[in-house]
Structure 1
């Protein structure tokens, strides 16, 4: 098997500037993999800068930035790149609704989601069987025989834990192997601190509202929340997923800019990424994995809802899909 990181190094030789860009509103896996990748590139003489769009919302993500002293810059109005600059998308791809695309000509991608478009990349490492990008970057360290710093190892362990739900999601031995390889380098006191800071005080009110709005139909949990941010919507989906008897969760939030969806599925015959695509019905964009997926319909694409009630529409699409898949 080719050394993936060496291929990346060959691509990046003599670059003017290298940027590492996770998806907007980066979560712990996106932050950890970006941070550790930057440190590894630096060991081989390639400086880089981590950039991101929108904001950092999750309490644990903010805590990671402080704890590991992650140097990261928000893409604001007026931010620009030169034509020879190189951007590495990590935990994101062109076509993602939650990626601020700077339209760079030279780009690479490191991701564990299905390929969303026919975009061409100078470097491409897309492995849908992996549960976390942190596992993929850990593999780069292994390939190069490099021991990660305590900070890099700890961040990567936490990234794997959060994106695989403590190694219970995706059922891939490679994630577990990367986790246990990192174990001896990581500081679990720091990880414990991160796990004690995963929910903000302001989030409690959104949780209360979500609990009031839950509707359970058989083994499906539906949650409609008004104006909820991306991070919190996913966290609420995870919470509802733990309710006894619930195997599928469909959470959605209608906001000023459109409708955001968060899907969870514990049924082998119902893939969350396929379900969200069916709900979207060729409107907006969506993707993810068999157990976890998300989607977004922009306000400009919502004309089809003019004479429909949102809750009725979502339930109709979900139940139609499950009947089609004989999963009801």
Structure 2
């Protein structure tokens, strides 16, 4: 029987190059050994099959005959400069014994990798000291899943391109949601760039205000061209695309039941049926800007510094710098955009000034807070800028013992509501929709609503109006979460 002893190979003893010890040369072990050698790594292979070992030597590998479960095998191998030992046989018991034997003889710096057929054996090997245990079936499934995601991405990119090519030389209205944020604005900008590349003229349209100091700075510093819905007649466009919103008339000024060509969004649509020729809604993504970045990559469209900066900022703000509802796709998109972005502008956007009204609303929110358990609700009264509400909701969520905040205020014709939550037991978007109807919704941890004043608008006394609004909003929200108000 061939023997690979400490004394037999002085060449291996003298080398200082890191070595990889592969125990088991089946399909997995042999494939890995080939990959390592192609990467210019030193590999030693051990297998109990003499014929296999002979074949490996003929192919230029350093190999020896040995049984992985044999306690004496450890003494037959020079472990100097070995950085990783891989137990790759298909026999779980042999791999476990190998881990147990080698763990006693190696230094703490040497990593032990092992193969397991199931989760039970994986846990046993980890308990024995293996640093990394993999299941081939799981790796194959994960690899296939990623390939399927890439195939789906290719399919989506081709479909979107085909749709846009079908309206070449026509006009496209890109409608983003009311009072748009950086995610909506940057996503609209991305679709406009894609459309331009494919010969389609497009305008980005919105209704409401660009409030929030960061949002104003975002548009001004990047010089983004946006049009007001009131200044454009949708009948002058050949097609409509809804971006970062999905239903005509809901958080946008497109007439309800209008025909829409494209819907691209990351907000859960709820139970409402989405109708459009091309629909791409991915609620698992933290930002629509991530979806649009994937399209730009798939269609191999050059991303300018302005567009990259806008998309990166859109992803960061909608995921709260990757702390809220973040998918691996958001991280990979941000990683792709980061070197293409203008970091000087990003630095300026991160240090905006706070408006006087924002401070005033924040003060009202603190003063008027109503706390029931871990829920905090606050009526800030009359507001001019609805974007002050989410800022106040964000701030109040940092108070001790609070897991969900709801801040609301009143304009001339509507009640605006903004909520934030870090309670994993509730889906705030669904609760808002349940409490306030279809003009409400959002994510599990960030949501909003707007309600027409309706019969309340006939109330002449403003203080009476605010009291009635407070009672209605608080009662409906607490009912939706199953909490009784203090007055009940």
TM-score normalized by the length of structure 1: 0.88
- Choose from 138, 153, 163 the match for 1:11: 163
Structure 2 residue aligned with 1:161: 316
Gaps (5+ residues) in structure 1? none
Q: 1:295 Cα shift?
A: 1.3
Structure 1 residue 267 corresponds to structure 2 residue 423: yes
Query: Is the CA contact 2:172–2:237 (under 8 Å) kept in the aligned structure 1?
Result: no
Structure 2 residue aligned with 1:233: 389
Structure 2 residue aligned with 1:49: 203
Deviations 1:108-161 (A, max 9, x none): 111111225324101111111111111111111221233421111111111111
Query: Is the CA contact 1:58–1:198 (under 8 Å) kept in the aligned structure 2?
Result: no
**After the TM superposition, which residues 21-40 of structure 1 pair with which residues of structure 2 at under 5 Å, given as runs?**
21-40=175-194
Structure 1 residue 120 corresponds to structure 2 residue 282: no
Query: Is the CA contact 2:435–2:479 (under 8 Å) kept in the aligned structure 1?
Result: no
Structure 2 residue aligned with 1:311: 470
Distance of 1:227 and 1:290 partners within structure 2: 27
Structure 2 residue aligned with 1:170: 325
Query: Is the CA contact 2:365–2:407 (under 8 Å) kept in the aligned structure 1?
Result: no
Query: Is the CA contact 2:217–2:352 (under 8 Å) kept in the aligned structure 1?
Result: yes
Structure 2 residue aligned with 1:299: 453
Deviations 1:270-323 (A, max 9, x none): 11012212322x4x62111111111122123769x9998433443334444434
Over 3 Å counting, the alpha-carbon distance change for 1:232 and 1:156 in structure 2 is same
Structure 2 residue aligned with 1:144: 299
Q: 1:184 Cα shift?
A: 1.3
Structure 2 residue aligned with 1:208: 363
- Choose from 226, 234, 251 the match for 1:98: 251
Distance of 2:259 and 2:474 partners within structure 1: 41
Distance of 1:198 and 1:137 partners within structure 2: 29
Distance of 1:254 and 1:84 partners within structure 2: 34
CA RMSD of aligned residues (A): 2.6
Over 3 Å counting, the alpha-carbon distance change for 1:241 and 1:96 in structure 2 is farther
Structure 2 residue aligned with 1:179: 334
Over 3 Å counting, the alpha-carbon distance change for 1:322 and 1:56 in structure 2 is closer
TM-score normalized by the length of structure 2: 0.61
Distance of 1:173 and 1:128 partners within structure 2: 13
- Choose from 170, 188, 192 the match for 2:347: 192
Query: Is the CA contact 1:55–1:74 (under 8 Å) kept in the aligned structure 2?
Result: no
- Choose from 226, 229, 242 the match for 1:89: 242
Query: Is the CA contact 1:31–1:61 (under 8 Å) kept in the aligned structure 2?
Result: no
Distance of 2:211 and 2:227 partners within structure 1: 15
Distance of 2:332 and 2:417 partners within structure 1: 32
Gaps (5+ residues) in structure 2? 1-151, 484-488
Over 3 Å counting, the alpha-carbon distance change for 1:96 and 1:80 in structure 2 is closer
Q: 1:32 Cα shift?
A: 1.3
Structure 1 residue aligned with 2:289: 134
Larger radius of gyration: 2
Q: 1:200 Cα shift?
A: 2.5
**After the TM superposition, which residues 216-231 of structure 1 pair with which residues of structure 2 at under 5 Å, given as runs?**
216-228=371-383, 229-231=385-387
